[in-house]
Copies of this chain bind each other. A is one copy, B any other.
Amino acid sequence: MKRDSRLSGVLHVLLHMAERAGPTTSDQLAKAMQTHPVVIRRILGGLRDAGFVHSEKGHGGGWTIARDLADITMADVYAAIGRPSLMAMGNRTEAPGCLVEQAVNAALDTSFHEAEALLIARFEQVTLAQLAADFHARMAARSSTPAQEHDHG
């Protein structure tokens, strides 16, 4: 089953933005992410509507983070991209008339809802500031090659 990488992508973009001083353009972020500028704009659209980032048009424009990194959790980002399903599995049919399927669905739903609740709870505990700190720790650990912080090779 193919897995959604939007959450991973948004977090990645946000951390790259956080490493820069002024506004960052979609083009620059696309280069860093090895993708297309329009994809960046799509990814950040939800974040902008949720107030986590700000976008400016024209000369000197681009994207900036609108809040303190310590005030944005992974759960916030997850919500901003529309709370896509976390579970790769679903029921064959929802609201089935078949009682066998109802029994199966009930058993699966119970477990899946527990797992989703656990995930959301974990997401709420991790802020972008923590992720940035982890990144900087990795930077320090890779002391021999300190210029590769943006290496995507």
A residues bordering B, Cβ < 8 Å?
Answer: 1-9, 11-12, 15-16, 19, 74, 84-93, 96-108, 110-112, 114-116, 118-119, 122-123, 126, 130-132, 134-135, 138-139, 142, 148-153
How many copies of this chain are found per oligomer? 2
Since A12-B98, A97-B151, A100-B150 are in contact, a sample of 15 more A-B pairs with Cβ atoms closer than 8 Å, ordered by chain A residue number, is: A5-B90, A7-B89, A8-B89, A8-B90, A8-B101, A11-B107, A12-B92, A19-B100, A86-B88, A97-B153, A99-B138, A107-B130, A111-B122, A114-B118, A115-B116
Please judge, given known A-B contacts A89-B3, A90-B4, A138-B103, whether A119 and B126 are in contact too, CB under 8 Å: no
Once bound together, how far apart are the Cα atoms of A123 and B78, in whole Å?
A: 26
Closest B residue, CB atoms, query A126: B107
- Least Cβ–Cβ distance between A10 and chain B, in angstroms: 9
